[in-house]
Chain A
Amino acid sequence: MSTTPNRKTHVTLDTTQDVLTEPVLGFQRDGYEMARGSNSGSQNLILISQCGWQLKPMQLDPGQMGQMSQAQSSILGSGQGAIPSGWVQLPRFGQLTATGIDYAPSVATSGDLFWTKQVKAGDDWSSSNYVLTGDQSGYPSPWSISQPIPVDRTFVGSSSWGPDQGFVVRIDVAGAKTLAGEGLAAIGFCGPAGLAAGGNGQYYLCLGANGEAELFELCSGQWVSCGSKPYGPKQRVSGATHFISIQPCTKTLNPALNGVIVIEFEQVKQNPDANASSSPAVSHPQDVRQWHLAVPKSTLVSSPVPVRLDIRRDLRAAWQISSLTYPTSALLRDDPFTLPYFATSAQPIILAWFSDLPSGCAISGALYDAETGAELTQSGTLAGFPQYTVDFPQRTFFTEFTLSGSPSVAPALATPTLFGYRVQRDAVFRASTLTPVDLSGIVTKIESSVPGSDSLPGWAKISAKDETNTMGPILNRGRRRIRVETEYDPANPQNRAGLFVGEVVSPQFSAFGLAGSVYPSSLWNGLELAAVGPLARLSEAVSPMRFDFGKDFNGLDSLGHPLPFLVTDALTTLFAAAGFDSSQIDLPASPLRLFATADPQGHVIEPQVPLGDVIIRLCREYLGGRPYFDPDLNQWRILTVVPTGSPIANFVTSGPGAGKQVNNVMGYPSGTAFIRKDSMQTWILPATASAIVAYGLAAETQGFPTLIMQVAVNTPSLPFDGVNPNSMGLDYLDRYMPLFIGIPGQSTPNGLNWMVRRAFDRLCHGKQVTSWQSPLVLVADLDGSTGTMRSLRPGDLITVNGANAMLTEIRFDYGKDEHQMAYYEAESIPS
């Protein structure tokens, strides 16, 4: 009597499938990685640390300010702010009128205006002719009080500037004596908020007479020091022109930052021989000091404020403030890069860049063949970015970018920012040209494991007898796709339940035939086909490139900064990189994104990392599930580890009742199968840990990341604070058994909490596992994905003698279709 009537096993080699022939190719450079080698170059550009490439402000070249006409309009005068009447604006440059001296049209007739204090004899130096007393008392600087020599407010802008407005201050301190006292000058401005805890983005840079600069931020009405740095030699504060460039910037892709403040000090010693010598020592007398300040990410918001300048009272220091202006365009050629495989014309290659574009600004980019120096043939655009046809078999390229400021007539008042770029070419899949080979008639035994663990790939072993040697070509090669399935409805033989899909790694045969034998053939062979499941193929795939899942330029936050990838988008990309096209992936819709990290490269997947490991980890940590290749749909899906719904199959040790055969599934109710006598085994898998200790790294404060640590204890697993749990409980371990997990990519308490919960649920509970042998059960595919019957799969909710359990493994093991049997393994579910 048949145990499993109407079943018929089919085994097929070289199944029809889309296969990967060219991998996804990509390359990415962030701004700080660009233009470093000898084959690169930039013109009119500067790299702002932790931000990107911007047009180089004209004001960074004092010569532009001194003589070129297009820079003169940036100098702030009485029309841009309040200045005491005792200060007058005088030019430092004027064209020399003499025979034989001709100036180009771009040279100003006169310019380089400095404000100079002119105190009348006997006048009061503290009067409102020289000090903005009202503004200073209403908005005191850190040095408005308690200075041995007063530091007076001499300028306040008429409009407030935001945290991205840069400017240059030049202060000419006459004389050659050593100055006493603390305060020389102080500069007030707006920058990214939060360099000091609780700051509002209003800063004062105080320049001491001792050559030290100290930066303060306003926090709840109090100036809080943010650090200090030398800006010039102690003995050369006087007799020098001090150049201070202040460039605050909120345009950063570093998710750990609100922005940066770049302060550049450039003290030019006034050399009496400067006009008489052309020696390098004179032409390059700059003593350049840069101060980069990273403002940590917070919810603090900057309060715009006018720029202010305070000058020590007893000095006749001349000063000049100029807002930053830019050239109208600039060019950047990056270093060559090489792709790790050939790119045919089957797919275009796209050049995309990440940028910030204030109104009127623009960036254009182009991709060049590094061998010929010619731009590749553009085949179209995608989302405004150029697509190219690659000059096969060329693999080495370089990029070139043109940055355009606004307005287009010099000087530009706004600059674009180029953060980096990415070159990407999608993978190429094609339908396999192989002809499927049907082994159904010669298979003698099926063994196959479909494990529930995401750490085990599953396997199958197919035994066959090729009595007439018709299957000889099977042995020609290895790594052949295999599919095992079974019919169950004679009226609809096309309906089949998938049992296993995978790849035969190394087919082997045994020669059984005897010379002269008539039947079977003298060439009779026994075949053994050992196969591995799809997870093995996933695990052997490695990342072909550097993936940065931290920047999704299709998903921006309220500030316009890119968010990390959606988890499902990251998984789709990883599956594709592992060789599975979109038709082989069926992921659930989920709004969950990877958690932002404190590290700008926190979601960068390194090249050569096993993709299967990354996929499994994302599934575990974010989705609480595991990847599973559905043999019915031929698709990767995510199975959650907690089954839901009603049991879909029942296994019983009791018989079917009087008058029915014990070993015939037809005698049992639908969805119910018997457990073979003496095959049932039960064992305990103890909890891995009684506590999870996890730590991450929060955003930097004052230059150091902050440690965050969370602890979760399974209180039923050990005595805890005087509470003694049930010592017979499944979770009970009787002692402290910690599991430490370092997750530096997690930068927020709740992000870390999430990971702790995932690890706790997976590792801190004991499990009672039962295994048994039963007929191979087929059930209706309740989610409707196939419309046919399917085999049980790990994660299904079942009952074992009436108790709920979650199926964890299925191992088919049979030789005849009339008795398709399988070993099942399930975890009991606590009631």
Chain B
Amino acid sequence: MKSQHNLQAGVKHLISRWLGESTQFQHHYSSERRSMPHQTELLGLPALAMDPIQDLNPTSPTFGQFLFMLDYDAVP
């Protein structure tokens, strides 16, 4: 039973990665279908500088913590 359970857990983990928790990207929107095959072109577009999302100062007591907060910072 143990081995069976472990096997099930391992298979489940692999399936989870395969189905949607992996590096695969699911295309659901029209814009994604149009844009995603051209990632080389996308990454060559003019870029907008973005502020870091985290505190990346190694000497800071809040090193690694997120500056952007869900449900607090305004979103479009």
| Residues of chain A at the chain B interface (Cβ within 8 Å) | 451, 453-456, 595-597, 599, 601-606, 609, 613-614, 616-617, 624, 678-679, 681, 683, 685, 688, 695, 697-698, 701, 704-716, 720-723, 739-745, 747-754, 756-758, 762-763, 769, 771, 823, 825
Contact = CB atoms under 8 A, between A and B. Distances in A.
A744 B31 contact: yes
Given A707-B46, A762-B21, A606 B28 contact: yes
Contacts of B58: 720-723
Given A681-B5, A740-B23, A753-B68, 12 more contacts: A456-B15, A597-B31, A604-B30, A613-B20, A697-B35, A715-B64, A723-B58, A742-B32, A745-B31, A752-B50, A754-B70, A823-B5
Query: A617, A749, A769, A825: which has the most chain B beta carbons within 10 Å?
Result: A749
Contacts of B26: 613, 617
Contacts of A609: 28
Contacts of B13: 685
A451 B29 CA distance: 27
15 contacts: A453-B16, A456-B15, A595-B76, A688-B17, A695-B42, A706-B47, A706-B48, A715-B54, A744-B42, A748-B76, A753-B68, A757-B53, A757-B70, A758-B70, A771-B9
Nearest to B55: A715
A695 B63 CA distance: 23
B42 A753 contact: no
Given A751-B75, A771-B9, A721 B56 contact: yes
A713 B50 contact: no
A709 B50 contact: yes
A574 to B, nearest CB: 10
Contacts of B63: 715, 723
Interface in B1-56: 1-2, 5-6, 9, 12-13, 15-17, 19-23, 25-26, 28-36, 39, 42-43, 45-48, 50-54, 56
A422 to B, nearest CB: 16
A707 B23 contact: no
Given A606-B33, A706-B46, A750 B15 contact: no
B15 A455 contact: yes
Contacts of A744: 31-32, 35-36, 42
A744 B30 CA distance: 10
Interface size band for B: 35 or more
A506 to B, nearest CB: 21
A622 to B, nearest CB: 10
A111 B20 CA distance: 70
B48 A704 contact: no
B1 to A, nearest CB: 7
B25 A742 contact: yes
Nearest to A592: B75
Contacts of B5: 681, 771, 823
A114 to B, nearest CB: 45
A606 B31 CA distance: 10
Contact of B32 (A745, A753, A763): A745
Given A605-B29, A721-B56, A748-B76, A616 B47 contact: no
Contacts of B35: 697, 742, 744
A294 to B, nearest CB: 16
B31 A750 contact: no
